[in-house]
Structure 1
Amino acid sequence: MKKTALVIDLDRCIGCYSCEVACKNENKIDLGVQYNKVFTIGPTGNFPNLEMYYLPAVCQSCEKAPCVDVCPTGASYVDKDGVILVDSKKCIACMSCISACPYGARKFNEKQQYVEKCTMCSHLLNAGDQPACVKVCCAKARFFGDVNDPESKVSKIIKEAGSAARSLPDEGNRPATRYILHDKTAKWQNKKSWTFFENI
Structure 2
Amino acid sequence: MKEKYMIIDVAKCHDCNNCFIACQDEHAENDWAPYQAAMPRHGHRWMDILRHERGQNDRIDTAFLPKPCLQCENPPPCAAGGDFVGVREDGIVIFDLEAGRGRDITASCPYGAIWWNEEEQLSQKCDFCAHLLDDPAWEPGVPRCVHTCPTGALTFVVEEPVAFARRIQAEGLAPYKEEIVPKPHVWYKNLHRFTKNFVAGQVLKGGDVASGVTVVLRGADSTAELVSDMFGEFRFDGLSDGEYTLTAEGKELTEVTVLGASVDAGDFEI
TM-score in terms of structure 1 length: 0.81
Amino acid across the alignment from 1:34: R
Deviations 1:74-110 (A, max 9, x none): 1111123110011111114332x32221101111110
Query: Quick one: percent identity of the two aligned structures?
Result: 25
**1:106 to 2:114 alignment:** yes
Larger Rg, first or second structure (1 or 2): 2
Distance in 1 separating the partners of 2:80 and 2:2: 23
- 1:146 and 1:155 in contact (8 A); partners too: no
Residue 6 of structure 1, CA deviation: 1.1
Residue 148 of structure 1, CA deviation: 4.1
Q: Find the partner of 1:55 among 65, 68, 76.
A: 65
Distance in 2 separating the partners of 1:104 and 1:119: 15
**1:122 to 2:122 alignment:** no
- 2:87 and 2:93 in contact (8 A); partners too: yes
Q: 1:103 to 1:92 in 2, by over 3 A?
A: same
Q: 1:54 to 1:71 in 2, by over 3 A?
A: same
Counterpart position of 1:132: 144
Q: 1:150 to 1:48 in 2, by over 3 A?
A: same
Distance in 2 separating the partners of 1:33 and 1:122: 18
Q: 1:86 to 1:33 in 2, by over 3 A?
A: same
- 1:147 and 1:176 in contact (8 A); partners too: no
Aligned residues: 185
Q: Find the partner of 1:76 among 79, 85, 95.
A: 85
- 2:75 and 2:181 in contact (8 A); partners too: no
**1:35 to 2:42 alignment:** no
Distance in 2 separating the partners of 1:146 and 1:155: 13
Distance in 2 separating the partners of 1:64 and 1:15: 30
Unaligned runs of 5+ in 1: 194-200
Pick the structure with more helix per residue. Answer: 1
SS of match in other structure, 1:64? coil
TM-score in terms of structure 2 length: 0.62
Q: 1:14 to 1:83 in 2, by over 3 A?
A: same
- 2:7 and 2:188 in contact (8 A); partners too: yes
Q: 1:5 to 1:93 in 2, by over 3 A?
A: farther
SS of match in other structure, 2:81? coil
Deviations 1:52-73 (A, max 9, x none): 111111101111111123213x
Counterpart position of 2:15: 15
Amino acid across the alignment from 2:150: C
**1:145 to 2:157 alignment:** yes
Superposed CA RMSD in Å reads 2.5
Residue 160 of structure 1, CA deviation: 3.4
Deviations 1:21-50 (A, max 9, x none): 0001111231111100112211x1122211
Unaligned runs of 5+ in 2: 29-38, 198-237, 242-259, 262-270
SS of match in other structure, 1:11? helix
Instruction: Pick 1 or 2: higher relative contact order, CA cutoff 8 A, min separation 6.
Output: 1
